[in-house]
Chains A and B, each alone.
Chain A
Amino acid sequence: GIQVEQSPPDLILQEGANSTLRCNFSDSVNNLQWFHQNPWGQLINLFYIPSGTKQNGRLSATTVATERYSLLYISSSQTTDSGVYFCAVSNSGYALNFGKGTSLLVTP
């Protein structure tokens, strides 16, 4: 299956700081999604972004499919942004392969 590598594995930020999370994948994809897993374990879909750029409030994402990477930007981070961010990809459209995630802690 497609290999997914996320970096950094861990990140600590002070409230108000900006950050960039990266997702590299080993093959062409037609489905790429970013998820946030909050400290209570709930998985929330942030973006469906197999290519291009999208923004939702303080979050934005860019996928450069030809170069096999995607970036998730978090601006003006808040403590509620803490949790694990997962990138997941597929080349069938359906069966997503997940990376191991970036664990983010935002401190007051």
Chain B
Amino acid sequence: NAGVTQTPKFQVLKTGQSMTLQCAQDMNHEYMSWYRQDPGMGLRLIHYSVGAGITDQGEVPNGYNVSRSTTEDFPLRLLSAAPSQTSVYFCASSYSKSTGYTFGSGTRLTVV
């Protein structure tokens, strides 16, 4: 039981490049979400999914795409990286809306 696994742990991109941040969970959790954490701003919700095939936007969705083709995986795609997307990205999952979240260890992304 690995919990929530995020890859990669670190990434440097050039402006305009695209990439996918991977998130996988092995706990059969229905709910998954992506947050970004910036200094002094706490965590802000990017996108979330309440089950396979269902996604919705959070507070800061611009510049990011998601899909949920399986219960286990919830990748986050950066379409054209910008320096403003430099941040630490966290993936989280929960069994239901009445249970606590489990977070992955994060991906530190730098866009130059």
Residues of A within 8 A of B (CB): 1, 30-31, 33, 35, 41-45, 47-48, 86, 88, 90, 92-101
Residues of B with C-beta under 8 A to A95: 33, 45, 48, 56, 58
- Quote the shortest CB–CB distance from B43 to chain A (angstroms): 4
Q: Cβ of B50 < 8 Å from any Cβ of A?
A: yes
Q: Is the CB of A98 within 8 A of B44?
A: yes
Interface residues of B (CB under 8 A from A): 31, 33, 35, 40-45, 48, 50, 56, 58-59, 88, 90, 92, 97-103, 105-106
A-chain residues with CB within 8 Å of residue B43 when the two chains form the complex: 86, 88, 98
Given contacts A41-B106, A86-B43, A101-B42, contact A96 B101 (CB under 8 A): yes
Q: Is the CB of A42 within 8 A of B103?
A: yes
Q: Which residues of A contact B42 (CB under 8 A)?
A: 86, 98-101
Whether B103 lies near A92 (C-beta < 8 A) is: no
Contact between chains at B48 and A33 (CB < 8 Å): no
Contact assessment for B106 and A93 in the assembled complex, using a CB-CB cutoff below 8 Å = no
Asked if B45 contacts A96 (CB within 8 A), the reply is: yes
